[in-house]
A and B are shown apart, each in its own frame.
Chain A
């Protein structure tokens, strides 16, 4: 049979802790009452939508911060990579906007003039950064439109999808590209574009110089001969001055158009196949 008399120690300890706790609780209750700050409910709701792993992949300190950024700073809603599509849908559902559907886009470097094909007129000595080089007149490549291969795009790529080849040319691995578009902004020569993954025909040149000028500095530069445009009947490739430009809104089915190019500027690539491999 248990003794009915509870030991004094239990009573005192319970009382002391209890009373301390009570005092503390009261203090906090008062603080909560008088120092309360109203928070945006939407931020909390959005935080709920996010995975809550605070990984920082979105560039914010954590999920809560990202939620705040969406509400207060109009941050893009598709930054949460771990959450993927599900999270995106949840966020969009909460905010009442439509999730962007459509084909996945990957980055493409529109220059094929690597060091073996494009001429250098001078030797560059300075910071290994395209933007810095462009400010003092480029990296010595005679083509003022070509890829300098100093890797500003590769450095800004969050998933290391861009490689600088040994011949100093930036190349995107379509399989790794998440389509964030950071490299597009980073390139000082506007050489990188976002193209739908399924497109196969690309023109790897952005030189607007006239044909004879281009011929002088690059073996694979577009000389504006117009043959490809004729071959596709102006559907999918158009001329911009002396430069042929792929219009990615119109799919080109017949890849043989590449053979019409005397400079081999047009290349055929299957982004999807590359992804699969």
Chain B
């Protein structure tokens, strides 16, 4: 196994202040069981799951609470044993309303019947293994939440020749992936080996940013026993190095075509956390009911890396971390660049929640609606080589023709443009807004086309 620098450099590349030292060296601690859990049914990309339980029903840990409601959807399991208190609509950590199951823990943390499931041997049937991944409710834990079993079963004409394990963690503040790589490197090796076999032994690249030397070292050691084409790729620390398309380019020099998927260029990217979840599901038969996340920020008394059950309410996490130093003015679920600002702390941890960031008043950035002064910085820093200034102006004017011409749908909402904007324009909100509108227009256009033909 070799270690080398990533051979390509993607466009853009910010150097934000990382603030990772708050938690980079803090060992992961398991959070005690909360008394109440708030489990969103829309924790993944695609259709929200359909509830399988009723109010007042008693459930055991690992028991399915909701089933997938479509091909792109996922199972959701009870994170502990207890009683279902309510099923209703609430704000979720994704910053929108969704059906939420509220359950009360009985403190016993008893597994449901048949859980954990028996481990599957490495030479088990491929379909059986992928079904297990699906049944464990595993989704991309880096943030997007794409169901992993869908990624693991590419159509036969799209052979995967490179598996990239994403340990870049380019978001400031977050250190969960880093800690997982340092602490769980052996289990990570098992996960990598599992995924690799499922895909027909492609080359494996573990991509880590150079600001995590401890992770690089741990991975080198743990993976030395792995044979075949396995390499650790050290990436320069730059945002958004860990974004899927940029990562693929840095590692392989291939550009995922506009509107396409990584499998279109023969690659598959899995997050460190997801890889560990796959190992858990196949080797230990555990469904996805907990994850590692970073609770951090300058308003939090004791920033920490935590192993938490899915559904743990955010106020419980804050409590566990010694409360707040100063009143938080903004609470972000995820990292500061792409995370979601939460309107309240009642929501619970999702499968995709990689961090909880409490920002004091003086660090909260305020958007002012000033006119673009055309400094061109956003154009310079856009990792997708778009023209964000033009797009945001076009978005304001709702000039849909212009937005499509300037390819707004290729925007990955990384926030680089808004980060460097001297006019403090809410660029990402413009992008999100325009993208949704354009997507809608396209869908309508498709529909009319279908109807007329």
Residues of A within 8 A of B (CB): 121-122, 125-129, 131-132, 135-138, 140, 142, 144, 209-210
The answer to whether B433 and A122 touch across the interface, beta carbons within 8 angstroms, is: no
**B340 contacts across to A, CB distance below 8 A:** 136-137
Given contacts A122-B344, A125-B366, A128-B369, contact A136 B429 (CB under 8 A): yes
The answer to whether A127 and B343 touch across the interface, beta carbons within 8 angstroms, is: no
**A131 contacts across to B, CB distance below 8 A:** 433, 437
CA A121 to CA B346, docked complex, whole Å: 12
The answer to whether A136 and B341 touch across the interface, beta carbons within 8 angstroms, is: yes
Q: Which of A125, A126, A140, A209 contacts B343 (CB 8 A)?
A: A140
- Please provide the 3 A-B residue pairs with the shortest distance between their CB atoms, ordered closest to farther: A137-B95, A122-B343, A132-B433
Q: Which of B96, B341, B429 contacts A127 (CB 8 A)?
A: B429
What's the minimum C-beta distance from B226 to chain A, rounded to whole angstroms?
A: 42
Binary flags per residue of B81-115, CB closer than 8 Å to A gives 1, else 0: 00000001101000111000000000000000000
Binary flags per residue of B313-346, CB closer than 8 Å to A gives 1, else 0: 0000000000000000000000000001111100
B430 at the interface (CB under 8 A from A): yes
CA A127 to CA B436, docked complex, whole Å: 15
What's the minimum C-beta distance from A239 to chain B, rounded to whole angstroms?
A: 18
Question: Can you identify 11 A-B contacts, CB atoms within 8 angstroms?
Answer: A121-B344, A122-B341, A122-B343, A126-B367, A126-B429, A127-B396, A131-B433, A132-B433, A135-B432, A140-B343, A209-B89
Of listed A125, A128, A138, residue having the most chain B CB within 10 A: A125
Q: Quick one: closest B residue to A131, CB to CB? A: B433
Q: How big is the B interface, by class? A: 20 to 34
What's the minimum C-beta distance from A81 to chain B, rounded to whole angstroms?
A: 22
CA A125 to CA B89, docked complex, whole Å: 24
B13 at the interface (CB under 8 A from A): no
The answer to whether B432 and A138 touch across the interface, beta carbons within 8 angstroms, is: no
B426 at the interface (CB under 8 A from A): yes
Given contacts A135-B432, A136-B432, contact A126 B96 (CB under 8 A): no
What's the minimum C-beta distance from B342 to chain A, rounded to whole angstroms?
A: 8
**A121 contacts across to B, CB distance below 8 A:** 343-344
The answer to whether B432 and A144 touch across the interface, beta carbons within 8 angstroms, is: no
The answer to whether A129 and B433 touch across the interface, beta carbons within 8 angstroms, is: yes
CA A129 to CA B429, docked complex, whole Å: 10
The answer to whether B344 and A127 touch across the interface, beta carbons within 8 angstroms, is: no
**B426 contacts across to A, CB distance below 8 A:** 126-127
Binary flags per residue of B357-385, CB closer than 8 Å to A gives 1, else 0: 00000000011010000000000000000
**A209 contacts across to B, CB distance below 8 A:** 89
Q: Quick one: closest B residue to A155, CB to CB? A: B398
CA A140 to CA B331, docked complex, whole Å: 13
**B344 contacts across to A, CB distance below 8 A:** 121-122
CA A250 to CA B1, docked complex, whole Å: 77
CA A138 to CA B344, docked complex, whole Å: 12
**Besides A131-B437, A132-B430, A132-B433, 4 new A-B residue pairs in contact (Cβ under 8 A), listed by A number:** A135-B433, A136-B429, A137-B340, A209-B89
What's the minimum C-beta distance from B438 to chain A, rounded to whole angstroms?
A: 13
The answer to whether B429 and A135 touch across the interface, beta carbons within 8 angstroms, is: yes
**B366 contacts across to A, CB distance below 8 A:** 125
Given contacts A126-B367, A127-B429, A129-B433, contact A144 B97 (CB under 8 A): yes
The answer to whether A127 and B95 touch across the interface, beta carbons within 8 angstroms, is: no
Of listed B341, B343, B366, B432, residue having the most chain A CB within 10 A: B343
CA A140 to CA B344, docked complex, whole Å: 9
CA A144 to CA B367, docked complex, whole Å: 23
What's the minimum C-beta distance from A41 to chain B, rounded to whole angstroms?
A: 24
